[in-house]
Amino acid sequence: MLHNLFIIWKKGAAGRIPGGLLGMIVLIAAVEGSIESHRVELTNLGNASWRWGGDAVWKRAEGRELLCFGDSLLKTGIVPRILERKTGLKAYNFAVHGAQPPATYFLLRRALAAGAKPKAAVVEYIPNMLTGGPRDWARLWPELATPREIVELAWNARDATFLASTLVARVFPSVRRRSDLRVRIVAALNGDSKAEDGAEVAAHLRNWEVNLGAQLSPPNPSFSGVPTEKDQKDYMTTKWWCDKINRLYIERFLELARSRGITVFWLAPPISPNLQAERERGGSDRAHTKFIADFGRRFPNLIVLDGRGSGFPKSRFVDLVHLDRDGAPALSDAVGTAIAEVLRGNREEGWIVLPRYRPVAIDRDREDVRESRIAIEANDGRVRR
């Protein structure tokens, strides 16, 4: 940012830019630079996750042999260190909260460009996230996508409005963080600094780094496990479909993996028992199964790992769909065992039903989000920005 301001100043000094315009440009650049330099404080968890995922794949992918992609179910459910012990492959979890299929495809493509040498990849798509197009998550795309990726996505979606708004937000931090800025301005006027939000983001950033991209959530004893009518609507227990752009990018992900000789393990993770029962009763679970099976018939490099019937108790979930710090190792153990057997030639099924839930021994390397926050505060008495 300082370099850019210096270039602007030089051009202004040379008389190429009128003085008033030069001052305005320098002011805008300074404001935008200040917002970007305080992005931890001026963001929410969803935006931070997409930004982190886009950056992490360039920094962490080189030499990785087992890559994990998906949304928050995979981020909170798969522990790379357990996969490494089971498979002997260097693993990393590049899932981001709320990821749509185009995001998983872009991240796989970047990982390969960054030097990853994957023999296998795990991917997961929560069903209700497949129904919306790119515009439904327009506020998040500027955090992860490059200008080239934004143009590509807008072209495939035939959406000029998405293209224009997302590119502007990509260039100007104040645009993509305006909702967070608005909240903090209102909070400041009311005497609330909103420091807790920044603390929570900082704790999650540490947690993702410590756990090789995974997020380990502390148990939630207050979770009842009973989905409300709104929950059933949000998680589409009676009706389900897939947006055409999401279908396109799932195909591109699988095709790219096939072209590189990568075996893809499509994980259908467990969700809380009552919600799973509602999805089975309403018929959307059957429609989702048929959807996955269609890809399995067309892509010989695809193996489904079906954990929906594995019987994880509600006590292992922090909410209706996300596992806690004790549930994630149990799922990772089952997934890692299945991957190892396939890669060693001991299993050839295209659809593997994961075994019933069983707890695994506590891993001393684990750190959940609550412990991450404590570690940050203990380190210097405050949350590092």
Report the pLDDT value the prediction gives residue 3, as an integer from 0 to 100: 52
Q: Report the interhelical angle of 284-298 vs 244-259 (nearest 10°).
A: 40
pLDDT above 60 for 25: no
pLDDT tens-digit profile of 274-308?
999 999 999 999 999 999 999 999 999 999 999 99
The alpha-carbon radius of gyration of the chain (Å, integer) is 22
Report the pLDDT value the prediction gives residue 27, as an integer from 0 to 100: 45
Amino acid at 119: K
Report the pLDDT value the prediction gives residue 169, as an integer from 0 to 100: 84
Angle at 47 between CA 41 and CA 51, to 5 degrees: 95
Q: Averaged over 124-141, what is the pLDDT?
A: 93
Give the residue from 219, 187, 175, 193 showing the smallest Cα distance to 76. Answer: 219
pLDDT tens-digit profile of 57-94?
999 999 999 999 999 999 999 999 999 999 999 999 99
pLDDT tens-digit profile of 216-232?
999 999 999 999 999 99
Amino acid at 157: A
Residue 7 binned pLDDT confidence (cut-offs 50, 70, 90) = low
Report the pLDDT value the prediction gives residue 21, as an integer from 0 to 100: 52
pLDDT tens-digit profile of 190-248?
566 554 567 889 999 999 999 999 999 999 999 999 999 999 999 999 999 999 999 99
Q: Averaged over 132-138, what is the pLDDT?
A: 91
pTM of this structure = 0.86
